[in-house]
Amino acid sequence: MADSFAGSAHRRGVTVLGATGSIGTSTLDVIARHPDRYRVHALTAHRSREALLAQCRRHRPEVAVLEREADAAWLRERLAEAGLVTEVTSGPRALVEVAEASDAEVVMSAIVGAAGLLPTLAAVRAGKRVLLANKEALVMSGALFMEAVARFGATLLPIDSEHNAIYQCLPVEHRGGLARHGVRQLLLTASGGPFRGWSRAALAGVSPEQACAHPNWSMGRKISVDSATLMNKGLELIEACWLFDARPDQVQVVVHPQSVIHSMAAYSDGSVIAQLGNPDMRTPIAYGLAWPERIDAGVAALDLFAVARLDFEAPDEIAFPCLRLAREAMAAGGTAPAVLNAANEAAVAAFLEGRLGFNAIAELVARVCDAEPVRPADDLETILEADAQARCAAHAWLAGR
């Protein structure tokens, strides 16, 4: 069931989960361009209390959430000094509360990693318009998540640029399998990351700084490393399967270094429909906020003469095995994608702390995926248990080397 916002005069309340991050900041940038359409219900951050204070001053949310009560107390004092009435809460339960609050019609899910799962599911179960950036939540809980979207009448709009592009390239009603709608394949574009064309041997010594220096997109550190290993594309392949009822073999990854085509749908009559734009997340964010309308996102018009050319190549799965690992996890089904995701989160954190080499990220993920049993992922408890066990296994491997 679609929510019907079109033409409504009232300002929609928005909760931004992960407001201080890259997606959160871009979301607030778009919202601030349309004060007639949106008001901020709640903003949440993990530990970045200074950044959240600045956002509270600027956007005047009704509620602000931090992880730790000590940080929340600090923020409460600063806001009181400034004469602001924002209520400040803390902890995981507070995230769920602002996700399901009746004052929020729209929830931007932009926490990074598994920490976003419970509040995102809470927004889905409350029937919100959910703007999904937090792909890890869907990767972990795919079937359960999509069932909840249908059951609770939530409107799920993908914010990941590739999935947002595919959403725009598909018929409005696209559930029930791709073939039913004449779609042969989804073409998921990938920039190739900062190490496109590098050999496995050359990758062995790369640093976190090199991995986080993405050629086209400015993003948080975790997704930047995922882009460098191609695990991001692997997670996106799984994400596409759930969002669009696709089988893994119906999703073709196409490396496209310019990041101008954000993805495509190939139809059985030979047509390929693509969505193009400058690489700026404010485009999919504005699309999700205003859908089915279109609003200004602050993004410059695409200058095709400046782009000049569009290149395409196949991904190198020898140098970047994470893509294959993700495809295998999707094919294995059940808790396998949750295990893959948890092992990857542990591996990326270790890499960013300088405790693990770049190539060992895929090695660690492969070992954990091989060792952990695959169970049916019918309920949340099983999924969270698989996530916790995979993290334990990853930490044990890291400690034992």
Distances (CA, A) of 246 to 70, 186, 249, 258, 391: 45, 8, 8, 26, 28
Do residues 279 and 260 lie in contact, with contact meaning Cβ atoms separated by under 8 Å? yes
Which DSSP state fits 11?
A: P
Q: Does 18 bind ligand NAD (CB under 6 A)?
A: yes
CA distance 50 to 58: 13
Note the Cα 121 to chain centre separation in Å.
14
Q: Does 160 bind Mg ion (CB under 5 A)?
A: yes
Cβ at position 234, least distance to Mg ion in Å: 11
Q: Does 369 bind ligand NAD (CB under 6 A)?
A: no
Which DSSP state fits 233?
A: H
Q: Does 104 bind ligand NAD (CB under 6 A)?
A: no
Q: Does 372 bind Mg ion (CB under 5 A)?
A: no
Cβ at position 66, least distance to ligand NAD in Å: 9
**Residue 160 or residue 316: which is nearer to Mg ion going by CB?**
160
CA distance 282 to 267: 28
Among 5, 12, 13, 24, binds ligand NAD (CB under 6 A): 24
Cβ at position 262, least distance to Mg ion in Å: 8
Cβ at position 299, least distance to Mg ion in Å: 16
Cβ at position 236, least distance to Mg ion in Å: 5
Among 56, 75, 111, 364, binds ligand NAD (CB under 6 A): 111
Do residues 90 and 71 lie in contact, with contact meaning Cβ atoms separated by under 8 Å? yes
Buried b (16+ CB within 10 A) or exposed e, 42-68: bbbbbebbebbbebbeebebbbbbbbe
**Residue 98 or residue 112: which is nearer to ligand NAD going by CB?**
112
Which DSSP state fits 373?
A: P
Among 13, 15, 23, 336, binds ligand NAD (CB under 6 A): 23
| Residue found under tokens 């047509």 | 271
Cβ at position 12, least distance to Mg ion in Å: 25
Among 14, 19, 255, 347, binds ligand NAD (CB under 6 A): 19
Among 91, 194, 208, 220, binds ligand NAD (CB under 6 A): 220
**Residue 135 or residue 391: which is nearer to ligand NAD going by CB?**
135
Among 138, 148, 219, 261, binds ligand NAD (CB under 6 A): 219
Distances (CA, A) of 339 to 76, 365, 379, 380, 390: 38, 9, 15, 14, 5
Do residues 61 and 43 lie in contact, with contact meaning Cβ atoms separated by under 8 Å? yes
Residue 354: count other Cβ atoms within 10 Å of its Cβ. Answer: 9
Among 3, 34, 48, 398, binds ligand NAD (CB under 6 A): 48
Site string for ligand NAD, 120-139 (x = CB under 6 A): -------------xxxx---
Chain residues that interact with Mg ion, rule: CB under 5 A: 160-162
Chain residues that interact with ligand NAD, rule: CB under 6 A: 18-24, 45-46, 48, 67, 110-112, 115, 133-136, 160, 217, 219-220, 222-223, 281
